Amino acid sequence: MLYHTTDHAKIPRLGLGTWKLEGETCASSVAKAIEIGYRHIDTAAVYENEEAVGKGIRDSGIDRSEIFVTTKVWMDRIKKEEVVGALSESLDKLQMDQVDMALLHWPVGDMPIEDQVSQLATCKTSGKAKLIGVSNYNQDQLLQALTSCSERLSNIQCEYHPLLDQDPILKTARGFDMLFTSYSPLGRGDRGTVLDNPAVKRVAEYHGKTPTQVVLRWHLQQANVAAIPKATSEEHLRENFDIFGWDLSAADMKTLYGLMRPDGRMVNPDWSPKWDTGVEAA
């Protein structure tokens, strides 16, 4: 496993994403992932699966202290200035006293960034979250958050894969030694837009790996980058985890960087901020 160390915490740079996983399927996937070796589990209040995630962690038999757990507070609770209460509810569902990372899931467009992150800071000072951060912020919003939050922000989570240029956010995150966590690291929806790309297939064939493994390895060979692919079957969980002990060459990395395109963004809801690159919100 590769780790990013920040604020006296070691964050595993490969984790399990749980978006759209529900009930016993979610719990069993989490437990199986931990059995395989995953030590970073990502969830969110809006996923409505925190109970299942907590159950999967308990069912794994691995001590809670060995699992890095991230959850996220949804926009409506941010706007109502209920972030601390919302995180308390998430902890109750997870059956935990503290999460390792609490994130604001999306920025609230008509609310000052300072007011949003001040609530997040209280989550850390109250002991409900060991570390704090944000998700889906653009570069300007991230800089505002970093300079106005009374507690250090350790993580930003955003969509990222070989089709999407995230260089502005990545540079800012690295400048503040933040971890950048890639969600939808293989793309979303039509998986073939990334994994069926002939260039990716050629690199995979050369290394004797799958296109999925090549793309995830591309993420982890970038400084300060983590990835949280979703998987349910044991086969895909193992495939996603088998990305250690080998490297992509500089030429391989360049090949994947070369796939970025202006319309590469796949997650762009109506409430999105004005993105730094790619397709902007309508």
- Residues annotated as catalytic are 47
Torsion angle, alpha carbons of 64, 231, 24, 70, to 10: 40
3-class DSSP assignment, residue 60: helix
Which amino acid type is present at position 250? A
Give the gyration radius of the chain's Cα atoms.
18
Distance in Å from the first CA to the final CA of the chain:
40
Q: Which two tokens stand for residue 52?
A: 């299942």
User: How far from chain centre, in Å, is Cα 168?
Assistant: 17
What are the distances in angstroms from CA 218 to CA 61, 141, 252?
31, 27, 9
Closest among 44, 4, 15 to 182, alpha carbons compared: 15
**Which helix (H) or strand (E) is 158 found in, with range?**
strand 155-159
Angle between helices 50-60 and 83-94 (to 10 degrees): 40
Please tell me the distance from the alpha carbon of residue 19 to that of residue 55, in angstroms, as a whole number. Answer: 16
